[in-house]
Amino acid sequence: MEPLTRIEGIAAPLMRPDIDTDIIIPSREITSPERTGFGEKLFAPWRYLDATRRENPDFVLNRTPFRHARILIAGDNFGCGSSREMAVWALHQFGIRCIVAPSFGAIFRTNCIRNALLPVELPEADVQALAAAAEAAPLHLVVDLERCEITGLAHRRLRFEMDAGERDCLIAGLDAIDLTWRHRAAIEAFQARDRQARPWIWEPR
């Protein structure tokens, strides 16, 4: 995974609450079992007017400067719904590296961490302030994962919280499976105990 320490770029406001993964990438757009090719499918129902992919000029990511956005400012419960990781791949492949929202769908949030896309939770008032600034004039933000802070909003420095383990993984770009195998002895010891304690789990016929 690519290491993630600092994200810099234009922030796009998309302040609807409860934006679900069916909107981020509808099922009918998932036509390949590969991990690539999802960027142009991001938000397809909102981004395009018809099947020929005529752009909807009103949709934020079709407007300048937002079509080059690196950061998305979103409403509450962003990424709720289906577990499809294609939602994260679509955002990432479009160019988004950080999403700021009051809260996230739980599976979506984990999928972000696993794909070097930073989910930042901030209080609703701060998210509103960022969105208002991004609407008013091009807003260039710097998200610093080491310091856990966002700068770029006039006279404000926004602090956010992040689990230390998740943060370390993102910063180092570590592979989670390799990290887990460092505990191979503990896994084997657990399994040896568990085969005694719950043998029925280990013999599903």
- HEC string of 29-94 equals HCCCCCCCCCHHHCCHHHHECCCCCCECCCCHHHCCCHHHCCEEEECCCECECCCCCHHHHHHHHH
Nearer to other proteins, 116 or 140 (CB): 116
Q: How far is CA 118 from the centre of its chain?
A: 6
Nearer to other proteins, 106 or 142 (CB): 106
Q: Judged by CB under 8 A, which stretch of 5-13, 65-73, 81-89, 149-157 contacts other proteins?
A: 81-89
Q: Are 14 and 72 in contact (CB under 8 A)?
A: yes
4 forms part of the interface with other proteins (CB under 8 A): no
Nearer to other proteins, 137 or 200 (CB): 200
Q: Which amino acid is at 78?
A: F
List 103, 133, 139, 152, residue binding other proteins (CB under 8 A)? 103
125 forms part of the interface with other proteins (CB under 8 A): no
Kindly write down the DSSP assignment for every residue of 139-154, as one continuous string: -EEEEETTTTEEE-ST
Q: How far is CA 101 from the centre of its chain?
A: 10
> Quick one: CA dihedral 139, 69, 126, 118, positive or negative?
negative
Nearer to other proteins, 144 or 166 (CB): 166
> Quick one: CA dihedral 106, 96, 60, 119, positive or negative?
positive
32 forms part of the interface with other proteins (CB under 8 A): yes
How many chain residues interact with other proteins (CB under 8 A)? 57
Nearer to other proteins, 98 or 169 (CB): 169
106 forms part of the interface with other proteins (CB under 8 A): yes
Please report where in the chains the tokens 């479009």 appear, as a residue.
94
Binding to other proteins (CB under 8 A) within 59-78 occurs at: 75-77
Which residues are at the interface with other proteins (CB under 8 A)? 15-18, 20, 22-23, 26-28, 30-35, 45, 75-77, 80-85, 88, 103, 105-107, 110-111, 114-115, 163-165, 176-177, 180-181, 183, 186-187, 190-191, 194, 197-205
